[in-house]
Chains A and B, each alone.
Chain A
Amino acid sequence: MKKAQIRIFESIAVLVIFIIFVAIGLRFYTTAQMNDLRKVAAEFSELDAVKVTLLLSHMPELACSFEGRPDSSCMDLEKINAMKYLLNNTPWVFEHYLPIIGLSDVIVTELYPATDTIMLHNASIQNTSLRIARVTSLTIPKNIQDPETGYKKIGTFTVKTSAVRR
């Protein structure tokens, strides 16, 4: 092999090694970035669950009312039942709530004096084909009031928000 050829091969070898090092560096960088993004996505998913819970628990369609004024500290049993009925039977009402509760299970649970569970919305039935990345569940205590008797029961309001894998 001639001297000039050896020199060219030397240069190419240096370049190849350099590219390998750069590729390894980039791989580490992208892995770190991906981990960082996953962390941010998880934070946003949790934040989304908080937002959905906050919005739903303060909606006038679910909150109690006292002489026409909303009272967000409790939920109206008849409003819960009415909304459940409409979500299952009136498509335009369901479409309206879809951006809020689309991928969330919304559960109202009566704890005391009697126990009962009302599944306001079940996302897992409607979205069986989706690949779920993570589920964030948030439960807040809520009184549940029967508007006829005015009697309040102790209960919880749970929202399970699913994040879809892309």
Chain B
Amino acid sequence: MQLLALYKVFENKKLLNIKIEKHNMRISKRGQVSDQFNWLFVVIAGGVILLFFFFVIVQIQAAGEAKLHAVVLGNMDAILTGSQVSPNTLNRIESSETLRFDISCDDFGSVMSVPKTQSQVDISRKIVFAPGIIGSNQIYVYVKPIEKPMYVDNVIYLTDTRTFFLVMGGNSTSNLQLNSLYLQIPDGIPKAGGPIIEDRLRAYNTIVIVNASGPLDTLTWNHFGEGILRRKNANWITVNASGVYMATKTDRQSEFGTSELVGIADQAFQVMFSKNKKFFECTQGKINERTKVVAKVYERRSEQLAARYISGNPCQFQLNLAKDRFGDIVNKITNDQNYTAEITNLRNINNELILLTCPTAY
């Protein structure tokens, strides 16, 4: 009996130990779950906070860049406006940082933009020619007036120290047209009128080559073949009696595209400062639009002035003639026709008005 009692006590104690062990194990598991939850919580919350700050920093950086681009473009636009009203001047804009922007022109207007960004400023009020993307810390702004024969507007020619103008034979008088083009490029803008100096070309991003008859001469082709021009943006312009032809090449292309007729020989200078045919035609369209509007204003002015004189007065007669010629210019531009004869005619009428001491037509 005693033995049996002892055995039962022993059995109960064993059972108790097992129970205590099980209880301890349960407590330990709960602790483990709580610790795991805490870690998971910290990792997720920390990750979310980190992502949030990362997002905020990226947004702030993007906003800062956009603001900087807007300020730079706004200031550039103001500089161009200032230059626009000062014809026959060459301004050099210097910056400690490289300025990069592109000028584009389409049916909706012209914009100046920072490449690969959304930043842009409307420059439809200006007539701007640029031979490619401007990317330098020194930019040239050359302003020339357009007279048809009346003063129409000032055209802005934009280039930089990374663009080189190579007028083949421009420094000799054997071809007067090329010589005139070479001389029209103001001193200060990188240019050469003779053969290529290899080392000079290496330093430039964009090369504008002008010659009298295609194809390019052997010397140029050799340099092209050796790779001097291969990694560059280049425009090849041919100027002769039948007009101005243009072929373009970007640094990814190994050769020039088809040479196309883009305009008359008188437009060669504007073609030299155009990145492609489409850009030239669009900007030329803006010049025509300006000419048309100015001619319309002068037509109305001549009519008003003529009405102030008594019938038969020579001033009235000449002013009425001027009014008709301005009207012809408006109509011819509308119908995309040549108006060279009207220009000559108007010049003569204006000279006649000066001789008669009448108010001039333009």
Residues of chain A with a CB closer than 8 A to B77's CB: 51
Q: Is A125 an interface residue when CB atoms closer than 8 A count as contact?
A: no
Q: Is the CB of B359 within 8 A of A82?
A: no
- Please, what's the 1-or-0 string for B150-179, where 1 marks a CB less than 8 Å from any CB in chain A? 111100000000000000000000000000
Q: Which of B294, B350, B359 contacts A60 (CB under 8 A)?
A: B294
A118 in the interface (beta carbon within 8 A): no
B62: CB under 8 A from chain A? no
> A119: shortest Cβ distance to chain B, in Å?
17
User: Which residues of the partner chain B approach A99 to less than 8 Å between Cβ atoms?
Assistant: 109, 122, 124-125
Would B360 and A82 count as touching, CB distance under 8 A? no
Q: Determine if B34 is an interface residue (Cβ-Cβ < 8 Å).
A: yes
CA separation between A37 and B81, bound complex, in Å? Answer: 23
Q: List the one stretch of A67-75, A106-114, A135-143, A154-162 in contact with chain B.
A: A67-75
Candidates A11, A58, A70, A93; contact of B293 at CB < 8 Å: A93
Q: How far is the CB of B288 from chain A (nearest CB, A)?
A: 12
Chain A 45-63 interface residues, beta-carbon cutoff 8 Å to B: 47, 50-51, 54-55, 58, 60-61
- B85 near A54 (CB under 8 angstroms)? yes
- B294 and A78 contact, CB distance less than 8 A: no
Query: Among the listed B52, B300, B308, B350, which residue makes an inter-chain contact with A86, where contact means beta carbons less than 8 Å apart?
Result: B300
Shortest beta-carbon distance, A82 to chain B, in Å? 4
In this assembly, does B18 line the interface, its C-beta being within 8 Å of a C-beta of chain A?
Answer: no
Interface SS, B side: helix
Q: Could you say which residues of chain B place their CB within 8 Å of the CB of A76?
A: 301
Report chain A residues within 8 Å CB of B78: 47, 50-51
**Does A70 contact B296, Cβ atoms closer than 8 Å?**
no
Q: Chain A residues with Cβ under 8 A from B289's Cβ?
A: 96
Q: Residues of A contacting B135 with CB < 8 Å?
A: none
Interface of A is mostly: helix
Least CB separation from B123: chain A residue: A99
B-facing residues in A1-46 (Cβ within 8 Å): 4, 7-8, 11, 15, 18, 22, 26, 33, 37, 40, 44
Bound complex: CA of A60 vs CA of B304, how far in Å? 17
Report the minimum CB–CB distance from A98 to chain B (whole Å). 10
- The residue of chain A having its C-beta at the shortest distance from the C-beta of B41 within the complex is A11
Tell me which residues across on chain A come within 8 A of B360, comparing CB atoms. Answer: 65-68, 147
What residues of chain B lie closer than 8 Å to A72, measured between beta carbons?
85
Q: Mark B225-269, 1 if CB is under 8 A from A, else 0.
A: 000000000000000000000000000000000000000000000
Q: Is the CB of A68 within 8 A of B362?
A: yes
List the 3 closest A-B pairs by CB distance, nearest first. Answer: A147-B359, A82-B300, A58-B85
| Chain B residues at the A interface, C-beta cutoff of 8 Å | 34, 37-38, 41, 45, 49, 52, 56, 63, 67, 70-71, 74, 77-78, 81-82, 84-85, 109, 122, 124-125, 149-153, 289, 293-294, 296-298, 300-301, 304-305, 308, 350, 354, 359-360, 362
